[in-house]
Structure formats: structure tokens, C-alpha cells
Structure 1
Amino acid sequence: MGIIPKSKIPNIEMLISSGALVVMTVITVVQVFNRYVLQNSLDWSEELARYLFIWAVYVGCSYAVYKDRHLEVTILRTICNGKFARSLTLLSLTLNLLFCIFVTVVGIKFVLFLASTGQKTPALEISAYWVYLSMPFGFGMMGLRVIERIWWIMTGKIDPTAVDIIKE
């Protein structure tokens, strides 16, 4: 979608997502070493790796919006030769924003419900809401990135018909 302007929102998504993937990889390597070399498995490693992966995915989706790397169906823009590219892109982003708001609200309600029940995870025995907090956090950040992208299109900072060139 053209040259991507520098964001006013810090790239905390990249740090959280990358950090979660690095820690997940280290934990998995340690678990494999313990299981096959030391013949002694860790009880908690698989669960923690799974939760870190969940956080990396949900938070990474927000960063993908910033970098314009989400999959999209562009057949209408292609058929119209870019004639309605701006309008179609704004419509698509608006629908995306509505979905992000919906998932964020439902996710917050679910996290509050889990917090009230005191449910804990099986192996780590941490509050289950920490795992599910990734959904409203990730979609909330994604909603902010969608708003940012809509603003960039509306102000002409990016052109929906242009070829992708990413600059930091």
C-alpha cells in the first residue's frame, strides 16, 4: 500500500511478539534437551510455550497491520483497475476496525469473567486470565493500528494503489 509513514504508536507489539517467540524457542530447546538427553521432562514447559505462542500471534497481528502484511482479497480493486481502491480499502479497514472493537469488548468481558472465577492453568498454576488477556490486548492494539492506517489513507500519506515499499 505504498510507503508506510513512521508511526506515532511505539512498536511494543514487535517487542512483545518477538520476545515471546524467543523465550518460547529457548524453552522448547531446553525441554527437548531435558527429555532426550537427561531423560527428565519439565512439567510446565509445553504449557508456557503454548501460552507464549498465543501471545506472539495475537500481538503480532497488530504489527502485521502496521506493516500492511495481512492477507487481503484484492479482486475488486484489480477488476476496477484501482479506480475504487481508496474507497474499497477504507471500507475494508472500517469493517476490520468494527471486528477489532467487537473482539476487544468480548475479550475484556471474558477476561473479567475468568478473573472472577479464579481459574488457574493446569501446569503453571497461574491465573487463566493472563493467557486470555492476549486476545483483547492484541485486537485492541490492532484496532489502533487500523485507525492509524485509515488516517494515513484519508490524509494521503499512503496510497492504496501503490506498490508496497516498507521504510522504517
Structure 2
Amino acid sequence: MSPSTLMRWFNTKFESTLCVISLVVMSCCVFLQVILRYVFHQSAPWAEELAIYGMVFSVYFGTALAVTEKSHVRILNLVQLFPRKIAVGLIVAGDAVWCAFNVFMVFHGVEYVKVLWGTHFISPSLGIEQRWPQAVVPFCFALMTFRILQFYYRWLRTGTCELTCVLPGDEPVK
């Protein structure tokens, strides 16, 4: 796989691939647990734990995917009352606050993972060191920040901007 192909995949499919994998793992584990409990009257504790990890990973990678697809939840009723230039300014200001929050979460998430590196905290069923699954939190907040900055970089480079406040059928903000 060439570097340009890998970068193209990262820019277009990274979050969605990890979301699909996480959701499939979660769904299969929950289905397995239902079958084991109600048909065989048994359980697999590892499947419950793996389903929880799958759910958590799908939530965090899903938020990053929503940023990539420009479909993250925004409260736009007030913004749409203003003229376009002011509305764009409000959205940019909101994104700046959002990035600041993401940086805050990355910083504190890394601090938390550092604490886990200093302790020996193993999950009960799978025997996984908790620092690995917990690292998804700062990683995904950093990924969201990267995707937001990538969006603004493309806007500055090309001069076209498709904000989430643009409804289907509207012209993109320029």
C-alpha cells in the first residue's frame, strides 16, 4: 500500500472502519451472550466486557466520524437568525471553543492514562491492562481536534467552506 493510498484511506475511511469494527464486535458479543444465557443457561463474562469496550470505542470513534462527515450535532436555530457572515463567525467561534474543550480533554485524558501506566489495573474477564482501552479517550479527542483543524485548513487553502449549518439544497458558504 503506497503512502498516498494510506493517507487517502486515513482521510476518508479511518473513523468509519473503526466504528464498524467496534459495532460488529459489540453486536456479536451481545448476540452471543443472549444465545448463551437463554438457550444454554451459561454466560461468557469476556463477551460482556468486550461488548462494553466495543460500545465505548464506537461512541468515541463515532464522534470523530461525525466531525469528519461534518454532521456533528450543532444548535443552529439562533445562528440561522443572523446574516451569513455573522453566522459563519459564530460557528467559527463555537468551533474554537470546541477545540479548546478537546485540547482540555486530551490533556486530562493523557494525564489519566499516565496514572494507569503507573498502576497495575487489569480488567477482570479479559485480563487487559486498562491503560490500553482507556487511551481511546484522549486519542479520539485529539482526532476530533485534528479533523476540525483539517476542515479549516482546507477552507483556507481552497476558499470554499461547507459548514454544517448549510442545509441540503443551500449553496456552500464562501
Which interval holds the TM-score relative to the shorter structure? 0.7 to 0.9
Deviation at 1:7, TM superposition (A): 9.0
Q: Please give the alpha-carbon distance, in whole angstroms, between the structure 2 residues aligned to 1:97 and 1:79.
A: 24
In the other structure, the counterpart of 2:113 is 111
CA deviations over 1:39-63 (Å, ceiling 9, x no partner) = 1111211111011111111111111
Matches within 5 A, 1:122-161: 122-154=124-156, 155-160=158-163
Counterpart pick for 1:15 among 8, 14, 17: 17
Asked whether 1:121 is paired with 2:120, we answer no
CA deviations over 1:98-118 (Å, ceiling 9, x no partner) = 111111111111111112101
Does the Cα contact within 8 Å between 1:60 and 1:138 map onto a contact in 2?
no
Does the Cα contact within 8 Å between 2:25 and 2:50 map onto a contact in 1?
no
**Which structure has the highest helix share of the two?**
2
Deviation at 1:75, TM superposition (A): 2.9
Matches within 5 A, 1:4-83: 9-83=11-85
Q: Please give the alpha-carbon distance, in whole angstroms, between the structure 2 residues aligned to 1:43 and 1:159.
A: 46
Q: Where in structure 1 do 4 or more consecutive aligned residues deviate above 3 Å?
A: 152-155, 159-162
SS in 2 for 1:84: helix
10-19 or 75-84, larger mean C-alpha shift: 75-84
Q: Please give the alpha-carbon distance, in whole angstroms, between the structure 2 residues aligned to 1:148 and 1:59.
A: 17
In the other structure, the counterpart of 1:101 is 103
SS in 2 for 1:140: helix
Change (3 A) 1:8 1:153: farther
By relative contact order (CA 8 Å, sep 6+), the higher-ranking structure is: 1
Q: Which ranges in structure 2 are unaligned for 5 or more consecutive residues?
A: 1-7, 170-174
SS in 1 for 2:11: coil
What percentage of residue pairs aligned between the two structures are identical? 28
Asked whether 1:163 is paired with 2:167, we answer yes
